[in-house]
Amino acid sequence: MLNLETPKKHRMLIDQAHQVAMNMLRPISRKYDLAEHEYPKELDMLAAMIDGLEESGASEGAGATGVRRDETAAETGNKNGSNLSSVLSVAEMCWGDVGLMLTFPRQGLGNSAIASVATDAQLERFKGTWASMAITEPAFGSDSAQVSTTAVLDGDDYVINGEKIFVTSGERSDSIVVWATLDKSLGRAAIKSFVVTKDMPGVKVERCEHKLGIRASDTAVITFTDVRVPKENLLGSPEIDVKQGFAGAMATFDNTRPLVAAMAVGCARASLDLTRDLLEQAGVTIDYDRPAQLQSAAAAKFLQLEADWEAAQLLTMQAAWMADNRKPNSLEASMAKAKAGRVASDVTLSCVELAGSVGYSEAELLEKWARDSKILDIFEGTQQIQQLIVARRILGLTSAELK
């Protein structure tokens, strides 16, 4: 059963991640928020450190690349594995800076997709790549079933054509996990993901977007024109299983959504920690032994925000723990993403309000965290899409029955 305490085996990793966030990410956070699209060179050293930990076996699944279901886990018992350590370490890093976390070399969301569905041979072949993930297109946002980018088998290659937008780390990554359809007439079941490297002819980064938040992370528009991709780069099975439908492709989200929830948890906690200090400096005492209604309005509001944050954190841990223990977690992954995404926006904006003029100015990072947090309620499936998925799972309805 799930223990709601942080596992002892992961505490050293979490402490290390927190030290990195506090001493290496926080000091450069404002710098790269202002210098949008400038590559944070300081991250190269951190990436080398993570690579060293992974080679030594001491990383315990730190970062996005740790996300993978452990198919050798026992059917009984309790396993605290790489999924749980990943979400806990990602939360700590995002306590430092979400945008910088998103632009870590070889820690892209595409790496999570590869780790989730690739075969063992593919895992070895794509080891060391920095993979972004390209799903969204100009004609659709959260409804991933509407993918219109095509992949047509021609000999030993798939020929990919289409356009992808809002690709996180799309300019800096050296490969892209591209979602494309093998046959539009077969609907969702024909959607597959492919690893496309940047050096393949026909791949073009058109531009990087200017954004409200996570400015340290590049977000690109990429076009694919007659890009020939070896058929071995199709992740998972090339078979189109109409009965399985979209489940194969969507399995990626069961592992990546808890990661995004963890990002939201980390960003929200950063706001709470700083706001608690600012309130104390202003003479507002938060007493955890007294009912909220007997305290000041600011203290009562803060207690409510903390309660919401803790619920988001526990849901995130539950979804990751279930993946580690080979339990179906689609419902829990969407619940965690929905709750954490909404909490991050509510907490960071409320903290700006509680801190008054200090919260709204650039004297502190509260206003930046409020801007950064909004994307965490949008990408990897919006708040509304997550609620729809949760409703379908609880009611036992298909996407056709509940739209």
Residue 241: exposure state from Cβ atoms within 10 A (0-12, 13-18, ≥19): exposed
Buried-exposed string 243-258: b where 16+ CB fall within 10 A, e elsewhere: eebbebbbbbbbbbbb
pTM for the model stands at 0.92
201 within domain boundaries: yes
Which residue, 77, 67, 40, is CA-closest to 215?
40
46 within domain boundaries: yes
Q: DSSP letter string over 287-304?
A: -TTS-GGGS-HHHHHHHH
Cβ(87)–Cβ(259) below 8 Å: yes
pLDDT (tens, 9 = 90+) of the chain, 403 residues, equals: 566 678 888 899 899 999 999 999 999 999 999 999 999 999 998 888 777 666 655 554 444 554 555 555 545 567 888 889 999 999 999 999 999 999 999 888 899 888 888 888 999 999 989 999 999 999 987 777 789 999 999 999 999 999 999 999 999 999 999 999 999 888 888 999 999 999 999 999 999 999 999 999 999 999 999 999 999 999 988 888 765 555 555 677 888 899 999 999 999 999 999 999 999 999 999 999 999 999 999 999 999 999 999 999 999 999 999 988 889 999 999 999 999 999 999 999 999 999 999 999 999 999 999 999 999 999 988 999 999 999 999 999 988 899 8
Residues 69 and 170 both lie in one domain: no
CATH number at residue 208: 2.40.110.10
Q: Which residues are catalytic?
A: 380
Q: How many domains, in total, are found in the chain?
A: 3
Q: Coil, strand or helix: which one is 32?
A: helix
Which residue, 10, 45, 53, is CA-closest to 24?
45
Residues 144 and 267 both lie in one domain: no
239 within domain boundaries: no
Identify the pLDDT of residue 62: 43
Identify the pLDDT of residue 2: 61
Taking CA 245 as the corner, what is the angle to CA 242 and CA 248, rounded to the nearest 5 degrees? 120
Helices 82-96 and 8-20: crossing angle in degrees, nearest 10, is: 30
